[in-house]
Amino acid sequence: MKTKLIGSIAGLFFAVFYYEAVAQHTQTGKKIAIHSLQNNFYSNYVEPAVCSDSGKVYAMPDTNSEVLRAILFNTDIHLLGKGEDTEEIVVEKIAEDGHTYKAKSYLRLIWYKIELDNWIGYIRASDVATHTFTDSKGKFKYFFQTENSCRLLKYDINTKKWADTLEIEHLRGDIVRVIESAGWKNTDILFRVTRINAFCGGGTRDEFIIDANGKLSGLLSTDSYADDGSADAYGSTVWLPLKFNKGKILLIANGDVEQVFDTYSGQLNVYPFPKGVTIPPTELIVFKESEIKSLYAKNGEPLLKPDGSYRSTVKNTTKYFRWNGTKLIRIK
């Protein structure tokens, strides 16, 4: 577990600080680092597209630079890189004593370097969906904007209108995947949005988003993190039901069919159906969390084992939920 986490964080920092190019701001001359983007263990980009009415493509990552062209809504684009700039906004205000003064604020701007029809340019992140998906019936298209917070837009392909919107604050979507939901009641599509934390202790957060009964909503979430300065750690996992074509149903960890086989332990990442639970297997969701807490003496000093490691307690909790086609209900 520790080895995987350390490796993930090291790779993430490499991805963040490996810069492909440097662009220069037209007016200020400030250089903006553009780092390359690629699909890997730490991030993915699925059919990126323009999600505004018209996205302007600039010669440089700067709204004062030349506009090369405007791209229409739902146009697929190829993301080459990403950079960040800060724009200073000055507003004149009036104080209580009547005199005027200038107040400064700063706007964080994220830019994508893109390629389209052999054109290379820059477009603002606010005009871009980093992940797009279409439901199995071809009725709706889903646009994810994943910088800072996760914003999901649902578009009706037939009426050509927005059908719903969901925003989850403080969830940067590093990886977005569709989770198989065959056998789920009233469910059009199920997503898993993953944030990988690049700080000491690391960890991840998974948010499961469902489109059921024509409405987008957050279903549940899992977290994992650790404290480098103690034994404190937390981890949670969810097992989701999947009905296969021949009728067999399995509870699969995080609903991840691709990772159903644990190559480290040689075991399947499945949860056995618990005895005494009588609801249909396709409606059962299992949530398990584990919390490790360091032990301390009365003077606040940590209690240590003979080998110098922290003494700790472990608390494991398992909860059973039922998805009844309308909402998630805890049953045990």
> pLDDT tens digits for the chain (332 residues)?
333 333 333 333 333 333 455 665 555 556 788 888 887 778 899 999 999 998 999 999 988 899 999 999 999 999 999 998 877 778 888 888 888 888 887 777 899 999 988 889 999 999 999 999 999 999 999 999 998 789 999 999 999 999 999 999 888 889 999 999 989 999 999 999 999 886 666 789 999 999 999 999 999 999 998 887 788 999 999 999 999 989 999 999 999 998 899 888 889 999 999 988 999 999 999 999 999 999 999 998 999 999 988 999 999 999 999 999 999 999 98
DSSP 283: G
pLDDT value of residue 188: 95
Number of neighbours of residue 273 by Cβ within 10 angstroms: 14
The token pair that represents 190 in the structure block: 């199920």
State pTM to two decimals. Answer: 0.83
247-257 burial by CB neighbour count: b if 16+ within 10 A, else e? eebbbbbbbee
Q: Measured between alpha carbons, how far is residue 84 from residues 35, 87, 205, 257, 305 in Å? A: 10, 10, 24, 35, 46
Tokens standing for residue 247? 């009728």
Please report, for residues 101, 135, 138, the alpha-carbon distance to residue 50 in angstroms, rounded to integers and kept in the order given.
39, 19, 19
Using the structure block, give the residue that is written with the tokens 């989850």. 168
pLDDT at 97: 84
Q: What is the DSSP letter of 29?
A: -
SS3 label, residue 50: strand
